[in-house]
């Protein structure tokens, strides 16, 4: 295994009967980086994470995580990873401190180190005032911070986060990501699954999954620079009418409405996409302002999850 990689997977697959939840996944996750899994529910993100931490046995393929082969060496691997689920997996009838003390016992943190480490985490994750509060009475953001504190209590080298921000408010999401960047700067490798585009843009690298298949991977900006599509932005007085007209153009791969704006994806092989859209709008006497736009990560996602016949002009 490459010493610069925390995770290396080749042909990783998981089948549940006839369902291919993950299909021949290749993955390289650099150490001390934030690597994202982007995809909708059912795309294979959670299944992949569970295979990588040894909770699920792959149907095919193999993975090396921190130098350990999973699932064969899962027992040796577990003390070196932290795992946080979207439901946070806290004990509701235990206080904040009791949750942390329990985790410390599970990971056999030396007794002399437990109180100093717990006090450090309470301070770091702004939980000091809640230390005697029962977990079930906490807000979503507080539960999230406590779950993260539990996941990193034993100083894991690798942190696996399965949609950790799906149940919290935007401010809590921003604060959470600030904590992740601090962990990565300290040397922790982080693998995080998400279906939020703005979160995916924060990752150093990411993989886009669609029905269990990795359809793209790379740095967010790299993916945005290589969509293979021309993106035309249309601002029309009647966006619904404009959309119905543009959809009739045979080479148009996708039309998405964002408020009063339309984003039109046309394969780069078509040529002058802007002129094509303008001519069709003019033929239907639709007044609109149009321009070529830079690709967003959402455009990337739409482009790489298109059916093959939609990608080709």
Domain match, 263 and 208 both: no
Token pair of 291 as six digits: 């321009």
* Domains contained in the chain, number: 2
Q: Which residue has the higher pLDDT, 1 or 257?
A: 257
Domain match, 93 and 119 both: yes
Domain match, 253 and 295 both: yes
φ and ψ of 210, to 5 deg: -140, 115
Give 273's pLDDT tier (boundaries 50, 70, 90): very high
The Cα angle at residue 220 between residues 217 and 223, in degrees rounded to 5: 60
Domain match, 114 and 157 both: yes
State the pLDDT at residue 2: 67
Domain match, 139 and 177 both: yes
242-265 CB burial, b ≥16 within 10 A, e <16: bbebbeebeebbbbeeeeeebbbb
Tell me the mean pLDDT in the region 173-199: 94
- Where is the domain boundary, 223, 246, 266? 223
Q: Which CATH number is 254's domain given?
A: 3.30.70.980
Domain match, 139 and 182 both: yes
Maximum Cα–Cα distance across the chain: 78
Q: Which CATH number is 9's domain given?
A: 3.40.50.300
Does the pLDDT value for residue 271 go beyond 90? no
pTM: 0.91
- Where is the domain boundary, 178, 193, 223? 223
Of 171, 217, 208, 192, the residue nearest 302 (C-alpha): 208
Domain match, 207 and 238 both: no
Domain match, 168 and 296 both: no
State the pLDDT at residue 312: 54
Parent domain of 249: 227-311
Does the pLDDT value for residue 191 go beyond 70? yes
Tell me the mean pLDDT in the region 58-76: 94
Domain match, 242 and 128 both: no
Does the pLDDT value for residue 311 go beyond 60? no
- Find where tokens 């969509």 sit: 227
pLDDT digits (tens, 9 = 90+) for 76-117: 999 999 999 877 789 999 999 999 999 999 999 999 999 999
Residues 6+ apart with CB under 8 A from 288: 234, 235, 236, 237, 242, 281
Domain match, 175 and 232 both: no
- Where is the domain boundary, 195, 223, 251? 223
d(C-alpha 304, C-alpha 295), whole Å: 13
């Amino acid at each position: 295994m490459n010493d610069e990689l925390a995770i290396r997977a080749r042909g990783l697959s998981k089948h549940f009967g006839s369902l291919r939840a993950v299909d021949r996944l290749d993955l390289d996750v650099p150490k001390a980086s934030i690597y994202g899994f982007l995809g909708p529910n059912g795309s294979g993100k959670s299944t992949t994470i569970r295979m990588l931490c040894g909770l699920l046995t792959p149907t095919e393929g193999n993975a090396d995580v921190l130098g350990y082969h999973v699932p064969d060496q899962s027992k040796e691997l577990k003390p070196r990873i932290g795992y946080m689920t979207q439901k946070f997996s806290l004990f509701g009838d235990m206080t904040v401190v009791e949750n942390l003390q329990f985790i410390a016992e599970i990971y056999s943190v030396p007794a002399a180190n437990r109180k100093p480490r717990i006090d450090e985490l309470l301070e770091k994750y702004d939980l000091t005032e809640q230390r005697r509060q029962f977990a079930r009475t906490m807000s979503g953001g507080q539960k999230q911070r406590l779950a993260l504190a539990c996941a990193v209590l034993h100083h894991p080298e690798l942190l696996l986060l399965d949609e950790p921000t799906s149940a919290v408010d935007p401010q809590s999401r921003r604060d959470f990501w600030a904590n992740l960047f601090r962990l990565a700067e300290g040397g922790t490798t982080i693998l995080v699954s998400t279906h939020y585009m703005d979160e995916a843009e924060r990752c150093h690298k990411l993989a886009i999954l669609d029905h269990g298949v990795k359809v793209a991977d790379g740095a967010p900006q790299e993916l945005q620079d290589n969509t293979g599509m021309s993106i035309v932005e249309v601002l029309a007085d009647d966006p619904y009418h404009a959309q119905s007209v543009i959809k009739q153009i045979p080479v148009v791969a996708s039309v998405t409405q964002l408020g009063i704006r339309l984003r039109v994806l046309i394969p780069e092989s078509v040529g002058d996409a802007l002129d094509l859209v303008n001519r069709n709008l003019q033929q239907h006497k639709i007044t609109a302002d149009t321009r070529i736009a830079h690709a967003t990560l959402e455009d990337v996602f739409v482009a790489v999850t298109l059916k093959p016949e939609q990608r080709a002009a």
